[in-house]
Every structure is written in C-alpha cells, then in structure tokens.
Structure 1
Amino acid sequence: MENLAVSGGAQPSRGFWEGKRVLLTGHTGFKGAWLSIWLGRLGAEVTGIALLPETQPSLFALARPDLRESHFQDIRDAARLAELVRSASPDIVMHLGAQALVRPSYQDPLGTFATNVLGTANLLEAVRSVPSARVVVAITTDKVYRNLEHAFPYRETDHLGGHDPYSASKAASEIIIASYRDSFLREKGVAVASARAGNVIGGGDWSADRLLPDAVRAWQSGNSLSVRRPEAKRPWQHVLEPLSAYLVLAERLWSDPSIGDAFNFGPISHEAAPVRQVIEIARASYGRGDVEYGDGTEGPHEAGWLALETAKARHMLGIEPRWSLAEAVDRTMKWYRAQNDGADARALCEAEIDEYEARP
C-alpha cells in the first residue's frame, strides 16, 4: 500500500525563522541533526543541548550543523539545564531530547523514564523563568497511545498508554506537557504543543534496532538482514515530513497560541505499511541484499499494528505529506549509498531539503 504524493501543503517560512533564537534539545541525534541543518538554512540562531552523539558514525559529526552554541548536557540535571536555558534566552524551544528506542527501554527502564519524563519536566520548568520564550514544541511519538491492536488509526483524543517503558515514558511526558501548559505556561503567554510523529526514515540514522539502518549495515558488510516482525505495520515517513510539520506548528503557535495541543503527524490519513513491504522497496532501491524473515515471536513485546489519523494537522495547520512511501525509502537508501561512496553528508542533506522545499 503506497501513499500518494500530495501537493499544496504548508511549508516553513524563512521570513519567520530569520533571526529567531531557537533552543533545540537532542540536536546530536538523527532528527535533531537534520533539524539543526534546516533551521540554520532558515536563518535561525540555534542553541543545542544534548548528550554526545550515541552512534559512530553520527550525522551530527559528519554534517557539522551551523549552531550558535552547542552544549553536551544531560537534561536530567535540572539545575544545569535551567542555567543553559536562561543563557540561551530562546524565542522558541524545540524539544527532541529523549531516549528514543523501544528495545533499549527494556534494558534501562529507569534511565528511559528519567530522561523522557523528568527531562521533559526539567525543561518546561526552566522555560517558566525565561521571559523571551513564546513557543514550545515538544516531540513525543506515535507510540503514546494505549495500543489495542484494532484496525483504526489513533486520534489525538484517544487514550494514552504504553506496554513497553519507552512508550509509557512518552505517554507520561504528554501528561507533563499538558500540565505545564495548563498550569503555568499559558498564563505566561507561552504557546505549548506536543507532536506525535510516525516511524521516521532517512539518511544519516545509524541507531541500532531501526529497520533501514540495520539493513544498510547488513548489506554494506555483505551479511543477511534479520527481520524480527515482518508483518508489523507502522506509519512510515521521510524525516523531512515531521520536521517540516514541527516548524510549521511552531510558526502557527507564534501567531495563534490558542491552538496549543497535541498533533499527530504521519503519512496520508491513516495509511500504514508492513515491515516486509518497506524492506522489499529498500532492497530493490539498494540493488542487492539478503533478508531472513522471522515469525514475529522473537524479542520483547512490540506493537503489531499502529496507524495515525492526521486530519487535525491537515485541517488546522495545512500540513500534507509530500513524498510517498516508495520515494521516502528510495531516497533513504540512495543517501546511504552516496555517503558510503564518499559524498559529503551535509551536502546530501542540503540537497534533499532543496528538493523537498521545491516540491509544489
């Protein structure tokens, strides 16, 4: 099932971002590095707060985003975080800092809860004391919903939950975000929204236990890719789709704080695709690669079916996806092949942003 390309959706505005002071947590991660590059292109003055890159290689190290300041700091340290937030004096806060993987959350549940729940609370508490702050966009995940494995896409009004520690920590952070918005930040004139994005793919992700990075590692080394749950369905999207949505959301919050709420971002309507389909597209694009499909029983519990309803983002924000599943996967695999053949990672990212912005 391939989602169709759509035109006419809202795009980030350079006129808005030029000169804005942006605090970006998680800037050393996969999505954070891409967003750092894009914000720099838009003329924003970005201060990053994050741990050191967790992978080798890392997109942050290879692409060298243009930042006003970069701080390697754990967001669990509330006092130090508050100092850095006050020093940055941001107009807009984009909170991407997190422990972002399901399987590692089983190995370190307390660390996952501390980072994703208390880290989010620490950041929002720090924002309370910053007079310049006008907008906070806090990124959670599509996995915040109590997954009943039913054949309906989840809406923003559905119950929160989480079987695994990662999902539970992100659901809890949604409650923290809403509480700080309603109890403190709205009355201070700070517009706050959370963003729940589907499964993100794109060049420059070297995290473990992610589908396409695992495929690239296996196929580049001549090994077979082992796929645990080939029939699991997810709302896949290219990384530039949610990043564009976050930027547009921040712009709209600036002009209309009343829309501060939770938003789903994903492929067209409720479309989701099985892992097997994504891998077969990736293998065709890559040109080679062996795959061993499991029976879906290996490892700890993971949701078998997940889809998002994105009508709210379409109607309230004008956000529409631009790249189909096939195009998103193809671009991802070509990015990795080009980078492995010696192309500059920053130039590859810039070229993809150019092409995304140029899509009518």
Structure 2
Amino acid sequence: MNKAFWKGRKVWITGHTGFKGTWLSIWLHAMGANVTGFSLEPPTEPSLYRLSGMAGRINSHIGEIRDVEQVRRSMAETAPDVVLHLAAQPLVRESYRRPEDTYAINVMGTVNVLEAVRSLHAAGHTVGSAIMVTTDKVYENREWLWGYREDEPLGGFDPYSSSKACAELVTAAYRSSYFPPARYAEHGVAIATARAGNVIGGGDWAADRLLPDCFRALERGEEIAIRRPGATRPWQHVLEPLAGYLRLAELLFCGGAAYAEAWNFGPREEDAQTVESIVRQVCRQWGEGAVYRVEEDLSLHEHHLLRLDCSKAWSRLGLRPRWTAEEAVGAVLDWVKAYRGGEDPYELCLRQMEAYEGVQSVSMS
C-alpha cells in the first residue's frame, strides 16, 4: 500500500458509519486522504464511528442509499477520485426477516452508486477507481472442501447472499455497458468488486455476529451460546480485506482496465475454521470464567462450509495475509480489553494499524 497515493486523495465512501466503514475511514484519514462518507446514522449503540470521533474528522453526509438523487448529490459535491461502496444490509438472519429491504439496499443501492458514477462522468468528472464491496457468500455454495475462485458460478440460498450476487451482476453489467475495460483509454473509469471473508475486529457491536455476541455474554458473566459450532468460515481481521481494498483501489486508479474485475479477499486455507474453534480461542485468550455452550439453531438455512481461493489477489495485487486467525482473535481481545480499560478507540485503531503495517507479509510459498 502506497501511503503517498492517498495523501490529499478525494475518497467517497458509503457505509462509513458502520464497523468496517469506520475502520476504513480511520485508515484513510490517518494517511491524509480527503474522506467524505455517505451513510445512515450508525447502526449500533455504542458505535465505533461515534466513539472514535470520526464525525469531526471527515466530511459526513447522512443519507439513504436507496435514494438515487441523494447519492448523486453527495457524490457530485465531493467529485471523488476514488469510490468505495460498503453500505449494505450485512446480516443473513436479518435478511430472512426483511428480504425486501435487503434487496432494496444491497441491489438498488449498488445501482444508485454506479448511476452516480455515470452521472458524474457525463458531467465531465471521471471517478478513476470504484470498488463495489460484496461478500464471500455470492457463490453458488456446493459445500466444496476447496476455495471458490472468482470465475465460479454466482448463487445465494438466502436473501442476503442472493442480493450480493445480484450486486455482482449489476456491477458487471454497468462495467461492460458503460465503462468497458477495452475502451478504458476513452472513459478512464475502472470498476471492480471485492468479495471478502468473515471479518472480526474491535469496535463491532452488531447483533448476530460471532465475536460481538461472545463479548456481550462474557461481559454479563454468562456462557457464550453458539448455534452452529461446525460451520466453517474464512475468518480474518478487518484490516486484512481493507488493505486489499486500498491496494486494489490504487491499482485501479493507476492501471485501470487490468484490474477492473472481481477479487476475493480472505485468509490462508488453515484459517478457514469452525465457529467452535474460534470461540475456543476467545475463551482461552479471555481467561477465567469464559465458557461456552452449544445451542444449535437449524430453523434458518446457513451453509456449513465456505472457503475462498484468494490466489489471484495474492499473486496479482502483491497481497499476503499478515495475521493468522488466532492472531486476529488476539488483536480483537486486546482492543476490547483496552477499550474497557478506558483507552481511546481512535488511538486503539491507529495502534493496531501500525502493528499490522509493521508485520512482514507472510510467504505463501
């Protein structure tokens, strides 16, 4: 990642008030980028966005991703060099409860961002780099033991996964129709999608996510209840995919057509672990009094096994995972304990970013 690239760079982010969007905003702000966020109010209370004071550090537009005119207006006011679209309804279980909102936000929200890029281009400003963030769950999951590559068929059993697969198709259609890589020299717009595995990190208070649920139980002195102990997911610290997005955004801006496609961002194969394995690591690192129980909930369908093949990003983007799943869990616990001890969340994030940047990339050979 080239920090000099981001200094003074105009960046427009959707979902900047969420957990992942706040970490990304902090990182960009620390590198000197001119960041504008577009999002609803923070989705949780407490929220990392408020606790880190990001509202006073970046330009923040509170708006509705489903309203194309609001999206166009915010992007036009910013005239960004780089667009990073993270806004989403991100929870599988919530998508079962609110499928219509999930599709409206995840599919039409993506349409609206791409329409804003297109409108801005027609008005004479070129967004050089645009990344639509989706998920590892976009694939037609056949419970394979090996990881899915970017050219595997898209699918999605549940409304969340399906909506994100739709967002992939929408992005591909806009790219081929309005900003085809073969004509990049004419339009100068490079659009990619990013499919990341399960992320963990300090400052996440969302419901129905594994580590936040663990910490809520531990802080109440209760047993951790896990509903799908054998489910295997590609766990990674939030900084891992964010580093991928930033690297990809740089290369899109500078290299254009060569990188305007779909990309997987995930951990090494051995870090695709079961829910129970991750919870055991949490309990071991938390210390005395940390125990869990299994309460299997099979009322809603969730896939048992999901792995990503990230060899394309590792080879072509020059990326390597830096923290193992165990190290990622340790980083989250360090963040949570330091926050509970009164440390400033913004400084905690910066400190972990510095630690992450200081680790030499792990060799995949």
Q: Give 1:93's aligned residue.
A: 83
Amino acid at match of 1:61: R
* 8 A Cα contact 1:161 1:171, kept in partner: yes
Deviation at 1:209, TM superposition (A): 0.4
For residues 127 and 55 of structure 1, the distance between their equivalents in structure 2, rounded to whole angstroms, comes to 29
For residues 292 and 299 of structure 2, the distance between their equivalents in structure 1, rounded to whole angstroms, comes to 18
Deviation at 1:185, TM superposition (A): 2.6
For residues 206 and 343 of structure 1, the distance between their equivalents in structure 2, rounded to whole angstroms, comes to 17
* 8 A Cα contact 1:13 1:42, kept in partner: no
Count residues with an aligned counterpart: 348
Deviation at 1:315, TM superposition (A): 1.0
- SS in structure 1 of the partner of residue 240 of structure 2: helix
For residues 85 and 319 of structure 1, the distance between their equivalents in structure 2, rounded to whole angstroms, comes to 30
Q: Give 1:292's aligned residue.
A: 293
1:138 aligns with one of 118, 132, 140? 132
Q: Give 1:32's aligned residue.
A: 21
Amino acid at match of 2:291: D
RMSD of aligned residue pairs (Cα, Å): 1.2
Q: Give 2:48's aligned residue.
A: 59
Instruction: Note the alpha carbon deviations across 1:84-128, whole angstroms, 9 max, x for none.
Output: 111110000000010011100000000000000001001100111
- SS in structure 1 of the partner of residue 132 of structure 2: strand
Displacement over 6 Å in runs of 4+: none
- SS in structure 2 of the partner of residue 264 of structure 1: strand
2:107 aligned with 1:117: yes
Amino acid at match of 1:241: E
Deviation at 1:271, TM superposition (A): 4.6
Q: Give 1:46's aligned residue.
A: 35
Q: Give 1:342's aligned residue.
A: 342
For residues 145 and 4 of structure 2, the distance between their equivalents in structure 1, rounded to whole angstroms, comes to 42
Amino acid at match of 1:22: V
* 8 A Cα contact 1:268 1:321, kept in partner: yes
For residues 299 and 23 of structure 1, the distance between their equivalents in structure 2, rounded to whole angstroms, comes to 39
Q: Give 2:363's aligned residue.
A: none
* 8 A Cα contact 2:29 2:58, kept in partner: no
* 8 A Cα contact 2:230 2:275, kept in partner: yes
* 8 A Cα contact 1:269 1:310, kept in partner: no
Deviation at 1:68, TM superposition (A): 3.9
For residues 189 and 329 of structure 1, the distance between their equivalents in structure 2, rounded to whole angstroms, comes to 40
* 8 A Cα contact 2:271 2:324, kept in partner: no
For residues 196 and 270 of structure 1, the distance between their equivalents in structure 2, rounded to whole angstroms, comes to 19
- SS in structure 1 of the partner of residue 225 of structure 2: strand
Q: Give 1:212's aligned residue.
A: 211
Q: What is the percentage of aligned positions where both structures have the same residue?
A: 47
Q: Give 1:19's aligned residue.
A: 8
Deviation at 1:219, TM superposition (A): 0.3
* 8 A Cα contact 1:90 1:133, kept in partner: yes
For residues 357 and 279 of structure 1, the distance between their equivalents in structure 2, rounded to whole angstroms, comes to 26
For residues 22 and 208 of structure 1, the distance between their equivalents in structure 2, rounded to whole angstroms, comes to 29
Amino acid at match of 2:40: L
- SS in structure 1 of the partner of residue 119 of structure 2: coil
Deviation at 1:299, TM superposition (A): 3.1
Q: Give 2:314's aligned residue.
A: 314
For residues 286 and 138 of structure 1, the distance between their equivalents in structure 2, rounded to whole angstroms, comes to 36
- SS in structure 2 of the partner of residue 256 of structure 1: helix
2:72 aligned with 1:82: yes
For residues 269 and 67 of structure 1, the distance between their equivalents in structure 2, rounded to whole angstroms, comes to 38
Amino acid at match of 1:36: S
- SS in structure 1 of the partner of residue 178 of structure 2: helix
Q: Give 2:359's aligned residue.
A: 359
TM-score by length of 2: 0.93
For residues 313 and 218 of structure 2, the distance between their equivalents in structure 1, rounded to whole angstroms, comes to 37
Deviation at 1:82, TM superposition (A): 0.8
For residues 185 and 123 of structure 1, the distance between their equivalents in structure 2, rounded to whole angstroms, comes to 14
Amino acid at match of 1:160: L
- SS in structure 2 of the partner of residue 19 of structure 1: coil
2:218 aligned with 1:256: no
Q: Give 1:150's aligned residue.
A: 144
For residues 165 and 199 of structure 1, the distance between their equivalents in structure 2, rounded to whole angstroms, comes to 17
Q: Aligned in 2, Cα 1:328/1:176: closer, same or farther, shift over 3 Å?
A: same
